[in-house]
Structure 1
């Protein structure tokens, strides 16, 4: 899977990038047809505590999934966004499997 990490007005270090790569790569365990992902890291000035924002846009055949989460750190927000995408992927996979098992 192709993963692109974009840092908007912040400098993401190598450790953060590898953390994000690792977490997003694990989503392939739940759905093996993922084409690619884009991750956007932002700082939200409106909130004092949960000011780190992570947006993940994931492409799969026929659809694009999206999750946006805030947290106290980019790692926390990444975990929340990946959990949201995992739920979406499981739901998508269950729908596809139920369509295959339906009689004509």
Structure 2
């Protein structure tokens, strides 16, 4: 499984990167054939004082790609909400494939 984490408009600290990596490793329990994972962590509305933290996750499996995006005021919260939505997508896809 190829994992890429990219940050846009900021430099992520080790605590955030380790949180993301730890959660991404859990994806293996939901699907056996994950080819790649791309995580984008972005600061939105950089011009204004209010900076929204956006997390985008893209998971590539054979013949399908999952994509989720979530934003909040904290990167960990954005990533966790996006990750949970992604897990739900993967579970639904797997149930359809088995049915």
TM-score, normalised by the number of residues in structure 1: 0.87
Find the aligned partners of 2:49 and 2:68 in 1 and give their Cα distance.
19
The number of residue pairs the alignment matches comes to 97
Report Cα offsets for 1:11-55 as digits up to 9, x if no partner: 001111111011111121111111110000111117937x10000
Q: What does residue 39 of structure 1 align with? A: 39
Find the aligned partners of 2:93 and 2:49 in 1 and give their Cα distance.
33
Report Cα offsets for 1:57-79 as digits up to 9, x if no partner: 11011011100000121100010
Quote the RMSD (CA, aligned, Å): 1.5
- Asked if 1:48 is matched to 2:50, the reply is yes
4+ runs deviating over 6 angstroms: none
Q: What does residue 68 of structure 2 align with? A: 67
Q: Which has the higher strand share?
A: 2
Q: What does residue 86 of structure 1 align with? A: 87
Q: Aligned to 2:58, what secondary structure does the other structure show?
A: strand
